[in-house]
Amino acid sequence: MPLPWGMPQVILYRRTNFIAHEVIFYGKKTSKPLSIAPGAGMSESMATTHRDQDSYSSPAMQARRQRILEETRTLIAEQGIDGFSMMELCRRADVAKQTLYYAFGNKNLLIASAIRDFFEKYESGIPYHSPSGTLERMIERIVAIGRRNLRIRNYVAAIVAFYYSSSTGSELWTALHDIMTLPQRPYVEAIARARQLQPWADKQQLIDALDGQRLSVSNEWIHGRIDDKDMIDRLVIGHLSYLLGSVRGTTRRTIEATLRQISEIGAEAYVDALPDILPKTTPAQKPVMPDEMAG
């Protein structure tokens, strides 16, 4: 239904992987963006003068989006995934509520965007030694996760509580599960292609079980039943021990040898001693940790 003259029409361009929508305001009888003055029924954060000034790719829009995502992660760490309100997020990020919904669709997509953004930024800054799909690469990633988690206990606690909550919605749970299982997926898929899985081992069930193992260790650590100094080794040894019962052949022998080595020197020392196989790249900027932001 056409809007009355003078009212903005909103055209949303949805992008995949929980990336924000682009929002442009058009008048009814013009193909050019209108200049919407702050105070004319809209907040300053929603005003636009030109497509290139307030499009999704503009520096101002990028900075606003990052501010929203960072404040979302801070609120998750402080109040849990289900504990914070969109109004509180608007106040902290200094944006209108309409902006959040235009940009992210709903609260679930916003939360998933914030967690995925954090995951991807942290992932891009890890100085990997080994190629994707190898056992060494998976261990490097687990160690990096453990080192990171030691600095963001409240954030990890919020994620774990959400996973175990009986009131968790399936849509958001599935979105977060897809993100959290990314580290082990390349290696499990590689050994499945090499026909190194035991007959009783299903590829997807193994990926899910490894994520459950990580969550179990994280939950024990959050509640103080695993010391900080032991947490990373427990994560790695738990993963490898579970894998050991699901693989055969040379892969099983390799995992056994790696477990013996890690039990002797520790997972961090194992990773630090790995040879550099990959070419050196410039690491991406380190993402702001939720607890660091709060502090």
Question: pLDDT per residue over 6-55, tens digit each?
Answer: 333 333 333 333 333 333 233 333 333 333 233 333 333 333 333 333 44
Residue at 266 is within a domain: yes
Residue at 2 is within a domain: no
**Would you say 147 and 232 are in contact if contact means Cβ atoms under 8 Å apart?**
yes
The count of residues in the chain is 295
Please check whether residues 217 and 80 belong to one and the same domain: no
Residue with tokens 């050994």: 191
Please check whether residues 63 and 95 belong to one and the same domain: yes
CA angle 52, 56, 59 (to 5 degrees): 70
Q: How many domains does the chain have?
A: 2
Q: What is the rounded CA–CA span in Å between residue 139 and residue 257?
A: 14
What mean pLDDT, rounded, does the chain reach?
79
Q: What is the rounded CA–CA span in Å between residue 205 and residue 71?
A: 34
Residue at 46 is within a domain: yes
Please check whether residues 67 and 100 belong to one and the same domain: yes
With a threshold of 0.75, does the pTM exceed it? no
Please check whether residues 135 and 249 belong to one and the same domain: yes
Domain that holds residue 241: 129-277
Residue at 93 is within a domain: yes
Beta strands (DSSP E) in the chain are 9-13, 22-26
